Structure 1
Amino acid sequence: MRRLLASALLLMLALPARAEVPLTGYFTATSACPAYQSINRQTNPGQVMTQPGRAYDLVAGNTARPTHLWIVVPGAEPERRWVAVDCGTRATDAEGQIAAPPPPAPAPTYRGTQYILAVNWQPAFCETSPRKPECRDQQADDFEATNFTLHGLWPQPRGNEYCNVPARERQASQSGDWRDLPRLPLSPGLQRDLDEAMPGTQSALERHEWTKHGTCYGTTAEQYYAAALDMLLALNTSEVAELFADNIGRKITLRQVRDAFDSAFGRGAGERVRMACEPDGNRTIITELTIGLTGTISGPDDFASLIAVASPTDGGCKSGMVDPVGLR
């Protein structure tokens, strides 16, 4: 009996720790999904996401009827990652060789507004949230004194949020515990630009915006924020930013703002813009602009074509003051 038990134990120890089923072919992602190093622990070094429309070499399934597939993600460390089977489609050829991936499908024509670019007038935002770290020491020569600052870039439709985000991170984002969210793997240069253009990084706003909205953008955090900063640059070098900078301490109207958008980015651009205001004592101050965009963002020069094909929106508040830097 003891010999039988010993033999069984040796046999169990000789079995592989995992039961992957080898597969050949390729896996084409249809969604942006996390690519895990470990399924059970859901570890994802580098926060790697699959890119919709891209084909990946297929290595194995986690079981004979897999819930996850082991694929090769070039450039990731490590390269072999697990993705959920419903993240895409898989194909093999009859000889079991890796088949050539099909040509990428043409990008679908998007009808309506694909993204909302949300920008703050930071001095006014700080009047409403004076205890925020980024609002404690505003100076007249700060970037935010005369430029729009980045709030976020929000994939539409509304509710397209928290894509493949673990429950714990979603809870931290929704409860305002943004510093509990993972740090983003941004390059030093982009992080510098973001710290200037998004003062809310002092409150970990960039982590919240990525968790809630950026995870649905379909790229890495680096690419997501590079696109958002390109759109902000286009806005801050336009007649719209000049209108605000030239009227600090004075009231402007929605009509003036929309006319400035038309002048800078083409007729009808202003109809894609909404202005938000807040009461502040006996004043009404402009706190935010939200701008509809549709299409592929590849640089600041795209702004005019992107806003042109977005859907018109209601204008929001009719007028408000351009608040000067510093708390009142």
Structure 2
Amino acid sequence: MQRQIAAGLFFAFIAVACGASESASGQFTATQNCEAFSSFAKRSNPGAVQVAAGTSYTVREINKVDYDWLRVDVPGAEPSLRWVQRSCGTPALTAQSAKAPAGQAGGESCSIANKQDSYVLAITWQPGFCEHASYNGKKPECDALGSGKLEAKTLSLHGLWPNKKECGTHYGGCEGPAFALTKETIDKVAPWMPNFYFERSFGAYEWNKHGKCQALPPDEYFIKAVSAVRVVNDSEVGKIVLGSAGKSFRVGEFFDRVKARYGEQVASSITLVCTQRKYLQEIRVALPLDFSTGGELPQLVGNAPAPAPREIGCDDQVLVEAAGRN
């Protein structure tokens, strides 16, 4: 019996060893704020560390060949090596570590323009992002919010992301025209994407990562994205968030209100994204390929594809950071 146990332990050890992490190199650019774990199996996160959207990190390991976790170097964290979910951003690995199964991130089919089958509209609650993201002075709109020079009066555009079913969130990085906007477009976008008041680096990042994967030129793409945000801002969704600034709401009550106002199709198309499990950071809306911004929220959502998860990283009670200076 003891020999059987020992043999079992030996083969269990071999199985674990075969599934061990693999060395990797390259960069990982976060497209959202996500927890950075010292151990993703135990979900341990000393210091409540997060990677920040728009920031690149050096990759040290991946959890397996067809990886879904990357170990990156997070400056200032203790320990500095942290595990981050692949779906949190865009990996750019080198050599063998860059290989992935067909249909997943890195495959050529996931970076060919105009192959999208739907969209995701990512909308930021700017005070929630700025208060809890480690932006280290790299977000002038956040500095302006903190100093009182800028006030969040509406929801803000994070990005309009073309999606392709077999690629999931990894559809992006397509070839396309360079990022360039007219002054008229910049003036129209800035109130809804406040980074545009100060610089255009984030806009360029969103265009290069997502915008090039669809057919609209940059001006039309950003105007259409802003028009979609305005529809959400003026809807029951915007009323709940703006009306809760400095307070909180329950996730269940949020979706009950949206469902009561617009029905199940609209409610199931929305995902709430939180940081530190309790602060509202983002609202994502699943949109169909041919979405229209000429009506209200049901017309925008239309026949959106399969329902999205209703929340990512949110506890039942969600806090909405105050819109003005504290």
- CA distance in structure 2 between the partners assigned to 1:133 and 1:298 by the alignment: 32
Name the % identity.
26
Aligned to 2:320: 322
Are 1:259 and 2:256 matched, yes or no? yes
Residue of 148, 155, 174 corresponding to 1:163: 174
Are 1:288 and 2:282 matched, yes or no? yes
Q: How do residues 214-233 of structure 1 correspond to structure 2 at under 5 angstroms?
A: 214-233=211-230
SS in 2 for 1:196: coil
Structure 2 runs not aligned, ≥5 long: 1-111
Are 1:299 and 2:293 matched, yes or no? yes
Are 1:243 and 2:240 matched, yes or no? yes
Whether contact under 8 Å (2:120, 2:287) holds in the other structure is yes
Whether contact under 8 Å (1:126, 1:327) holds in the other structure is no
Aligned to 2:4: none
The superposition leaves residues 260-298 of structure 1 with CA deviations (integer Å, 9 ceiling, x where unpaired) of 43355443311111111112xxx8210001110003244
Q: Aligned-pair RMSD on alpha carbons?
A: 3.0
Q: How do residues 30-109 of structure 1 correspond to structure 2 at under 5 angstroms?
A: none
- CA distance in structure 1 between the partners assigned to 2:293 and 2:153 by the alignment: 22
Aligned to 1:137: 144
- CA distance in structure 1 between the partners assigned to 2:148 and 2:241 by the alignment: 15
Return closer, same or farther for 1:252/1:140 CA change in 2, 3 Å cut-off: farther
Aligned to 1:210: 207
SS in 2 for 1:147: coil
- CA distance in structure 2 between the partners assigned to 1:277 and 1:248 by the alignment: 15
Return closer, same or farther for 1:262/1:188 CA change in 2, 3 Å cut-off: farther
Aligned to 2:66: none
- CA distance in structure 1 between the partners assigned to 2:246 and 2:296 by the alignment: 32
- CA distance in structure 1 between the partners assigned to 2:176 and 2:184 by the alignment: 26
TM-score by length of 2: 0.55
Aligned to 1:97: none
Are 1:186 and 2:181 matched, yes or no? yes
Return closer, same or farther for 1:256/1:141 CA change in 2, 3 Å cut-off: farther
- CA distance in structure 1 between the partners assigned to 2:323 and 2:289 by the alignment: 34
Q: How do residues 11-22 of structure 1 correspond to structure 2 at under 5 angstroms?
A: none
Aligned to 1:35: none
TM-score by length of 1: 0.54
Which aligned runs of 4 or more in structure 1 are off by greater than 4 angstroms?
A: 139-142
Shift of 1:217: 1.6
Aligned to 2:118: 114
The superposition leaves residues 56-104 of structure 1 with CA deviations (integer Å, 9 ceiling, x where unpaired) of xxxxxxxxxxxxxxxxxxxxxxxxxxxxxxx99xxxxxxxxxxxxxxxx
The superposition leaves residues 229-266 of structure 1 with CA deviations (integer Å, 9 ceiling, x where unpaired) of 11111011112111112211111122233234335544
Aligned residues: 201
Aligned to 1:125: 129
Amino acid of the structure 2 residue aligned with 1:255: G
Whether contact under 8 Å (1:258, 1:269) holds in the other structure is no
Aligned to 2:80: none
Amino acid of the structure 1 residue aligned with 2:189: L
Return closer, same or farther for 1:206/1:240 CA change in 2, 3 Å cut-off: same
